[in-house]
Chains A and B, each alone.
Chain A
Amino acid sequence: MLRFILKRAGLAILVAFTVSLISFSLLFLSGDPAAAIAGEHASDQDIEAIRRIYGFDRPMLLQYWEWLSSALMGDFGESYYFKLPVAGLIAERLSITMTLGVCGISFALLTAVPLGVAAAIRPNSLLDRFALFLSVAGQAMPSFWFGLILIVVFSIQLGWLPPSGTATPLHFVMPTIVLGYYAMPAIMRLTRAGMLEVLSSDYIRTARAKGAPEGLVMFKHALRNAIIPVVSLAAVQMGFMLGGSIVVESIFALHGAGYLAWESISRNDLPTVQALILVFSMFYIVFTFLADVLNAWLDPRMRAG
């Protein structure tokens, strides 16, 4: 088990390192970062001065090394636009995005898992077909459009929910639904497929044969085994969700890290963009690492892989 964890952690660190290299090189894809900071009407001397102040005239590898080593200490430099330390900016905004992410994945799990179980109990029933239809339609729904429809219906027509902001828990209802529904189809399908497979296995037949009540068979014997792959899928989806929160946060004007990403991209604020790419990637890397470890703990066969 320890060997598995060490091996998996090594992979995670290597992936994080490569992602950091890629997000750093974004700065140089943009051509001349000094010219970007100076703005459109800057003279050549101004640009030259900025280049020296920010250190863009030094070798790229050296700059990468300095960026990475200070990033490891939690220092991502200063934002070009806000003129504040990037780390502080992100830390301040991250709580909203994390709240949204946790709500989103909980919403997805609480709706998709029961639906998947119900669909698997009676395959090809009306409910199963309805669940399948929901998952196909859900995958095709553009999230920004879904969000706007919810605003029109629940904020403008019915006046039940506030359209934007973060003041009360009610403000998080619609963003949670929009962020969460996208993960639902995959979770539902996996739960359904897992339940179908488990329900046809020998130990379920044994449990039924010895006269265990149906509810106990379903939840204690079947679901506990079928849910294992769902755990790691949920971790992966949570990672994707945080990255996808940029769209949701901009629709509902939630000033979280996704909104910050959108602001800083529109304003060419590269240090903030680089740091955010790295932070969102780190979340994904950590979540998938934890899911793999959890899986290996639950299912020893996974440790070989």
Chain B
Amino acid sequence: MTQTADPLLQEITGPTPGQLLRKRIFGHQGLLIGSIVLGLLVIVALFAPLIAPHDPYAQSLLARMEPPVFLGGSWEHPLGTDHLGRDYLSRLIYGARVSLLIGLVAALISGLIGTAMGVAAGYFGGRVDAVVTFLINVRLAMPVVLVALAVVAIFGGSLTVVITVLGLLLWDRFAVVMRASTLQVQGREYVAAARAIGCSNTRIVMSEIMPNIVNNLIVVITLEMAHAVLLEAALSFLGLGVQPPTPSWGLMVSEGKQMMLFEPWLVLIPGFVLFALVLSINLLGDGLRDVTAPENRN
């Protein structure tokens, strides 16, 4: 018997949308690698006190700058010790907490601001749109690193200040993307239908528009989280971010810089984990975009 091209039969026997989605997820290398690495780093950060072999703040003048195990060090300090004799592995593990916390919270704050602005601009249009577009222009014109450094210098480099500054600065991409997505959804029949039966604006935005643009929102959250992690590291590297003795990866690179000539691993190791974290977040974000909206791939 030859294959029948009956569309109805195909619909019944063919893969379901759920199966297709699962196939896309497990067939996407970047997404898989990204989520595994990020998942591991999140676990390390959550269970830092259980995993870390030493206290990240404990100094030991007798065990300063011991090399990591692969450069002839001992298993007592698998990744060696820094210039104050603190265990490098433990500082890295606790540093994951700082990076992830700052990245996530800053992305959420800026996500809230940017989404509210972008959706309002797209939904109401007219003057609201003009004002939001203007604010985006103003924000883009301000040099982020410079403004963040200046504000941190004024208020002092605590975790809260760094998170707040980054959260208040990084909303531009959210606003741009959410505005465009809302405009795209705005003209669909279901929005017109909801309006026709007299739904309130809040209801239309919350139950008709938001569910249809939340995919894009998640992608931007990952990208901005990566951005925030990199900025925090840069601020801390310049000495105007998270302050010592807090274990921040950017700060560790900056402290290791003095001894880079003889002990390059002091700079290489924290920089590499930073790179791995940002890369995994970006891979996850790119992967989510490909899987949820394959038509936007290029």
Contacts and interface: CB of A to CB of B under 8 A. Distances in A.
Contacts of A265: 146, 149-150, 153, 240
Interface residues of A, number: 51
Interface stretch (B19-27, B61-69, B132-140): B132-140
A256 to B, nearest CB: 13
Contacts of A23: 142
A273 interface: yes
A19 interface: yes
A277 B147 contact: yes
Given A136-B279, A142-B230, A284-B140, A247 B154 contact: no
Contact of B274 (A22, A145, A152): A145
A134 B134 CA distance: 34
Contact of A14 (B134, B142, B151, B275): B134
B9 interface: no
Nearest to B138: A18
Contacts of B142: 19, 22-23, 277, 281
Interface string A262-287: 10011010000100110011001100
Which of B134, B146, B234 has the most chain A CB atoms inside 10 A of its CB?
A: B146
A16 B151 contact: no
Contacts of A262: 149, 238
A192 B297 CA distance: 12
Given A144-B253, A277-B143, A30 B154 contact: yes
A29 B141 contact: no
A145 B238 CA distance: 12
Nearest to B283: A136
A1 interface: no
Given A136-B283, A151-B260, A268-B153, A277 B134 contact: no
Contacts of A139: 226, 278, 282
B281 to A, nearest CB: 8
A175 interface: no
B205 interface: no
Interface stretch (B73-81, B101-109, B117-125, B264-272): B264-272
A148 B279 contact: no
Interface in B10-41: 30
Interface string B234-278: 100111100000000010011001001100100110010011001
B208 interface: no
B282 A136 contact: yes
Interface in A235-291: 236, 239-240, 242-244, 246-247, 250, 261-262, 265-266, 268, 273, 276-277, 280-281, 284-285, 288
Question: What secondary structure prevails in chain B residues at the interface with A?
Answer: helix
A156 B259 CA distance: 12
Interface in A90-143: 136-137, 139-143
A139 B237 CA distance: 18
Interface in A138-178: 139-145, 148-149, 151-152, 156
A60 interface: no
B140 A276 contact: no
Contact of A250 (B146, B226, B238, B271): B238
30 contacts: A16-B141, A18-B138, A19-B141, A19-B142, A22-B138, A26-B151, A30-B154, A31-B154, A136-B286, A140-B275, A141-B278, A142-B271, A142-B278, A144-B250, A145-B253, A145-B274, A148-B267, A148-B271, A152-B264, A152-B267, A156-B260, A242-B143, A246-B145, A247-B237, A261-B146, A265-B149, A265-B150, A266-B240, A284-B140, A285-B141
Given A31-B154, A136-B282, 16 more contacts: A11-B137, A15-B138, A19-B142, A139-B226, A140-B278, A140-B279, A143-B234, A144-B237, A144-B238, A144-B254, A145-B275, A148-B253, A152-B260, A243-B145, A244-B143, A281-B142
Interface of B: 30, 134, 137-138, 140-147, 149-151, 153-155, 226, 230, 233-234, 237-240, 250, 253-254, 257, 260-261, 264, 267-268, 271, 274-275, 278-279, 282-283, 286, 298
Interface of A: 11, 14-16, 18-19, 22-23, 26, 29-31, 136-137, 139-145, 148-149, 151-152, 156, 192-193, 196, 236, 239-240, 242-244, 246-247, 250, 261-262, 265-266, 268, 273, 276-277, 280-281, 284-285, 288
